Amino acid sequence: HMYKRDAHFFGGNGIVGAQTPIGAGLAFSYKYNKQPNVAVAMYGDGAANQGQLFEALNIAALWDLPLIYVCENNHYGMGTTTARSAKSPEYYKRGDYVPGLRVDGMDALAVKQAIKFAKEHCVSGAGPIVLEMDTYRYHGHSMSDPGSTYRTRDEITGIRQERDPVERLRKLIQTHELLAPEEVKAIEKAQRKIVDDAVAAGKASPEPDADALFRNMNQVTDGIVIRGVDSSVRTPLASIQPS
């Protein structure tokens, strides 16, 4: 649910799968303006069943838009296994008339090569492509999800030990002696500092003022009422706005 236009990150909506048609729109703008760029629209295995995805896929294929659809398949959506949510869990094949690839999303180098291939495919004018990233999340979907009611802790531990992408890359570096151990530690220390600084900056940020609640919203409040939990209760909107 983040949005940062100057970084070309156009997320920020709260509707499941809504980023997929937005991605098609961004890809259309690139093609219309003859820019050598691609749009990347990412969604999870849960959002893969949304109808708007298939509408966007259709128009993207029809117009050969430079669009990479990335399905992050963590196998549980928000908390429902793919076996219970999808008749066809091979999400890279869902495009039908759009080519697709299944990628080990826990392998950093495989992901890099897949994205490189997909971009070359799109900018060549061949149209969109679907990448299914086979991945996993160790924690719950949100703070209210303990992440252990629909899977076992042994499963989580096992995948972390066998497929963790950071550990896999670390072992690869060590095996091929690409970096000295102290260089790896220096990189890890620098990355932790970035995270720690971001957390500190967030905690130090002041609370937004009350006016932020009504920013970019209808300011004409005359005659508008809010219904309470009791359907007979009506509260004039104007009476609760900050002065």
pLDDT digit string, tens, across residues 144-167: 899 999 999 999 999 999 999 999
pLDDT of residue 241 exceeding 70: no
Average pLDDT over residues 62-73: 98
Nearest to 80 by CA among 16, 17, 150: 150
Nearest to 47 by CA among 24, 25, 20: 20
pLDDT of residue 229 exceeding 80: no
Nearest to 69 by CA among 108, 21, 29: 21
Query: Looking at residue 242, what is its pLDDT?
Result: 58
Provide the percentage of residues in the chain whose pLDDT is more than 90. 78
pLDDT band at 235 (very low <50, low <70, confident <90, very high): confident
Query: Looking at residue 228, what is its pLDDT?
Result: 77
pLDDT band at 187 (very low <50, low <70, confident <90, very high): very high
pLDDT of residue 243 exceeding 60: no
